């Protein structure tokens, strides 16, 4: 059972890696991290400012401050995505060397991922 999980994890890492660096940063850094953190932060700020007035809390989500927060957290999300890409790259290389299998594209042409 543990071996199947490890194999699917290995395949998952390699599939993520094959999609490329920019795709990973945008999808997991900017969209998954940046946007979700923006929504959470804006809701929390709304509760702090408006207590339990849900109408004001949710209407504050559609403000200029939310746009600034979204830009800020998207930038930090891109940084986070880049850091995690480095970790993913090392993990894929470790898994490939451990299994003795090399991708047919030699880790998808490292030059393409380093742009």
Contact predicate 50/56, CB 8 Å: yes
Q: Cβ distance 89 to 17 under 8 Å?
A: yes
What per-residue confidence (pLDDT) applies to 98? 81
Per-residue pLDDT band at 111 (split at 50, 70, 90) = very low
Tens of pLDDT, residue by residue over 44-96, are 999 999 988 999 998 989 999 999 999 999 999 999 999 999 999 999 998 88
Report pLDDT digits (tens) over 6-42: 677 778 888 999 999 999 999 999 999 999 999 999 9
In the predicted structure, residue 104 carries a pLDDT above the cut 50: no
pTM above 0.85, yes or no: no
d(CA 65, CA 45): 11
Q: What's the rounded Cα separation, in Å, for the pair 14 and 44?
A: 37
Per the CB < 8 A criterion, the answer to whether 41 and 69 are in contact is yes
Domain boundaries, the chain: 11-109
């Amino acid at each position: 059972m543990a071996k199947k999980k490890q194999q699917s994890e290995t395949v998952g890492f390699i599939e993520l890696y094959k999609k490329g660096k920019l795709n990973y940063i945008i999808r997991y850094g900017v969209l998954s991290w940046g946007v979700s953190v923006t929504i959470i932060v804006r809701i929390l700020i709304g509760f702090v400012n408006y207590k339990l007035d849900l109408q004001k809390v949710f209407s504050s989500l559609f403000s200029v401050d939310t746009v600034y927060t979204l830009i800020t957290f998207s930038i930090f999300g891109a940084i986070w995505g880049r850091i995690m890409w480095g970790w993913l790259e090392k993990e894929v290389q470790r898994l490939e060397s451990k299994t003795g299998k090399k991708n047919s594209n030699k880790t998808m042409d490292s030059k393409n991922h380093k742009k």
